[in-house]
Amino acid sequence: MDNPLFSVIIPVYNRPDFLRHAIQSVLAQSFSDFELIVVDDGSFEPAAASLRDMTDSRLRLFFQPNSGVSSARNNGIRNSRGEYLAFLDSDDSFEPEKLAVSAEFIRQYPEFLVFHTEEIWYKNGKFLNQKAIHRKPEGDIFENSLRLCCVSPSTVVIRRDLFAQVGLFDESLPACEDYDFWLRVSCCQPIKLIPKVLTIKQGGHADQLSRQPCLDRYRIKAIVKILESGRLNQKQKIAAQKELCRKCDIYICGAKKRKNFKEAEHYGKLIEQYNTSLEND
């Protein structure tokens, strides 16, 4: 298979049981024109050990020293051959119609480069009701993306051309790399929502990146990056500056509670800098 419609990329680090379930959910797709790329990010027990009985020719396995999820995703992107790329976290799974429905939406809406779907969440095996703030947006979602990461990597398909325009995942960010990526995408591209639940997310385990403390410092860094990139129009720039100041205010409160006054001072200066920029705008 030289040029499949989809390349599905699964980065994995030390999750053999979850990984098998994720892979099986891809190989069970009703739509067959895809390749499945698994990138083992230096697991203690290499992924190959738990996948010896999986002989599907569409499955391709790559190994790298432990370098983080962004590096693993980027490795998969560089080795992919599909026209559209789909991502699946190793603890998540696809419904059997995920790729078939995505292919139909691609056919119906060729003007879109990015599609995402509805999802359902489980935490420690129990169904988790999503809040209104997590409702999936579509169209111009830049301001939604500033507030929180409103696109899950496990729900998307992206035309590969877009990576040449916005770049790959930022490997310098140990967390919130998806928040950073979607700021770069949503400032220049509309997003099409596929209004069907096609991804199942499993949460609650100890190794999730979202469980790291003080995650807003990475989101603030991402907003500074997009502000300095020259990509934003005036409306987007003002929205980004306001959200930066809001996030800094929240972070400063936390830093003071932790008695980290030097950190609080740093983010206070950032607020002063961008408040001045807002006044000038």
Q: What is the pLDDT of residues 23-79, one digit of tens each?
A: 999 999 999 999 999 999 999 888 877 788 888 999 999 999 999 999 999 999 999
Same domain, 227 and 176: no
The model carries a pTM of 0.92
Q: What is residue 81's DSSP assignment?
A: -
135 in any annotated domain: yes
71 lies in some domain:
yes
**Tell me, what's the pLDDT at 206?**
56
Which residue, 176, 196, 211, sits at the end of a domain?
A: 211
Q: If residue 20 lies in a helix (H) or strand (E), which one and from where to where?
A: helix 16-27
Structural domain count, the chain: 2
- Residue 210 scores a pLDDT above 60: no
Residue 14 has pLDDT above 80, yes or no: yes
Q: Give yes or no for residue 155 having a pLDDT over 90.
A: yes
Long-range pairs for 243-248: beta carbons < 8 A, 24 or more residues apart:
243/146, 243/147, 244/220, 244/270, 244/271, 244/274, 245/271, 245/274, 245/275, 245/278, 247/216, 247/219, 247/220, 247/223, 248/220
pLDDT digits (tens, 9 = 90+) for 191-203: 999 999 999 998 7
Could you tell me the residue range of the domain that residue 262 belongs to?
216-280
Check: CB of residue 187 under 8 Å from CB of residue 232.
yes
Residue 256 lies in a domain: yes
Same domain (yes/no): 47, 158: yes
Segment among 69-73, 90-94, 222-226, 271-275 with least mean pLDDT: 271-275
- The whole-number average pLDDT for the span 101-109 is 98
1 falls within a domain:
no
- Residue where a domain terminates, one of 156, 184, 211: 211
169: phi then psi, degrees, rounded to nearest 5: -70, 140
Same domain, 235 and 135: no
- Report residue 95 as tokens: 């419904």
Q: Is the pLDDT of residue 125 over 90?
A: no
Are 252 and 246 within 8 A, CB to CB?
Answer: no
Looking at the fold, whether 197 and 232 belong to one and the same domain comes out as: no
